[in-house]
């Protein structure tokens, strides 16, 4: 028969176990926090660049997604010591933590669009004229899409991140010799690329495919980096990576939000990143305008619907289907019949009236 004394002993043992559990949990969190902070600082030191304490984040009036998805405007910058930096990488990244899904939209920089208060320009000129906020407004006005966050990454930071994440390089199958204007020479074949080489691979555009080929390579690179980051080796380096990139990134995502996003991405990993390019095939034609040079004249209505479908998890339709839904008539003959990169007139060597490439 159990006595009252036996009951008291059991309660004491339970309290002792609970205290030990709390102590071990606190110790584990302390060690984890200390490891994170240490690796973060190591990453910052390896970056070799000091971030100005007075750096101000420009105004960005992004909107939070009503369905809980996280939408980020990703921009790649090459400052080259200029007061106004240029960006030749414009993407919208979407992460759905509830479904564990990720999507990436690459926006062609030469799309001819309405820039609020400035009139008609190439899409990337909106960034040159007014930074991330004006680019956000331009996307909202032309494609009816809004984003909550932006992240502007200097290309030097990209190189550093790759070298920390994968000291032996990222495996890529280089399809042709590449060297023009990328500060490195790449030979064809399957090989591991370091940070500088991988950046050159992602930025190369001096061939028949122009910007279209570059967009495909950029999406390929991001997918490869995602796989490396979610590997066991990569996950352990996330704190160091965050420290490494911090001096090279400008973003309105707060420090705690960045940590939360990294945790969500690790705990709810994605198998594949779904990708899309705007404009969609057959929805544009090559044009040239005074003050802008070679541009892509796009069907904004069809591309807006395609973008909405994609970000809502639907398979985008063909351009012909969007046109028929809108007008009831097949009017695709008015646009580029092939819609492929082979007929695209790259504006690599042209400048608009703002002096921006």
Q: How far apart are CA 114 and CA 47, in angstroms?
A: 38
Q: How far apart are CA 150 and CA 140, in angstroms?
A: 14
Q: Is 22 a residue whose pLDDT tops 70?
A: no
Lowest mean pLDDT among 106-110, 117-121, 269-273, 334-338: 334-338
- What's the mean pLDDT when you consider all of the chain? 81
Stronger pLDDT, 42 or 252, i.e. the higher one = 252
Which domains are assigned to the chain?
70-173+207-343 (3.40.630.190)
What is the model's pLDDT at position 12? 67
What is the model's pLDDT at position 45? 59
Q: Is 82 a residue whose pLDDT tops 80?
A: no
Lowest mean pLDDT among 140-154, 180-194, 293-307, 343-357: 343-357
* Chain segment 322-347, per-residue pLDDT in tens: 999 988 765 555 555 445 443 445 55
Q: How far apart are CA 136 and CA 147, in angstroms?
A: 7
Q: Is 301 a residue whose pLDDT tops 60?
A: yes
* Chain segment 261-282, per-residue pLDDT in tens: 777 776 777 788 899 999 999 9
Q: How far apart are CA 240 and CA 332, in angstroms?
A: 50
Q: How far apart are CA 74 and CA 110, in angstroms?
A: 17
What is the model's pLDDT at position 188? 95
Say what the pTM is. Answer: 0.79
Crossing angle for the helix pair 195-203 and 155-165, nearest 10 degrees?
A: 130
What is the model's pLDDT at position 3? 64
């Amino acid at each position: 028969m159990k006595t009252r004394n036996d009951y008291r002993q059991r309660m004491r043992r339970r309290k002792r176990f609970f205290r030990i559990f709390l102590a071990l949990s606190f110790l584990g969190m302390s060690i984890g926090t200390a490891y994170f902070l240490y690796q973060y600082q190591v990453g910052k030191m390896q970056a070799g660049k000091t971030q100005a304490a007075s750096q101000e984040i420009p105004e960005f009036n992004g909107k939070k997604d009503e369905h809980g998805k996280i939408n980020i405007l990703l921009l790649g910058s090459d400052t080259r010591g200029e007061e106004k930096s240029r960006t030749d990488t414009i993407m919208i990244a979407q992460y759905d933590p509830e479904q564990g899904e990720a999507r990436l939209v690459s926006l062609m920089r030469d799309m001819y669009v309405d820039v609020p208060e400035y009139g008609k320009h190439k899409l990337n000129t909106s960034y040159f004229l007014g930074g991330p906020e004006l680019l956000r407004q331009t996307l909202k006005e032309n494609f009816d899409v809004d984003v909550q966050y932006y992240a502007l990454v200097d290309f030097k930071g990209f190189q550093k991140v790759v070298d920390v994440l994968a000291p032996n390089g990222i495996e890529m199958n280089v399809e042709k010799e590449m060297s023009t204007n990328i500060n490195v020479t790449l030979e064809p074949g399957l090989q591991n690329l370091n940070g500088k080489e991988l950046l050159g691979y992602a930025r190369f555009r001096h061939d028949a495919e122009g910007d279209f080929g570059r967009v495909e390579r950029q999406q390929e690179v991001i997918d490869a980096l995602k796989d490396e980051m979610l590997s066991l080796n990569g996950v352990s380096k996330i704190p160091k990576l965050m420290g490494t990139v911090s001096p090279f990134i400008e973003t309105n995502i707060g420090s705690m939000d960045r940590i939360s996003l990294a945790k969500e991405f690790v705990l709810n990993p994605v198998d594949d990143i779904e990708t899309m390019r705007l404009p969609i095939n057959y929805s544009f034609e090559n044009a040239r305008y005074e003050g802008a040079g070679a541009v892509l004249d796009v069907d904004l209505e069809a591309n807006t619907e395609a973008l909405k479908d994609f970000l809502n998890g639907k398979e985008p339709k063909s351009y012909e289907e969007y046109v028929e839904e809108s007008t009831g008539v097949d009017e695709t003959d008015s646009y580029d019949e092939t819609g492929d990169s082979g007929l695209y007139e790259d504006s690599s060597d042209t400048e608009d009236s703002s002096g921006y490439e």
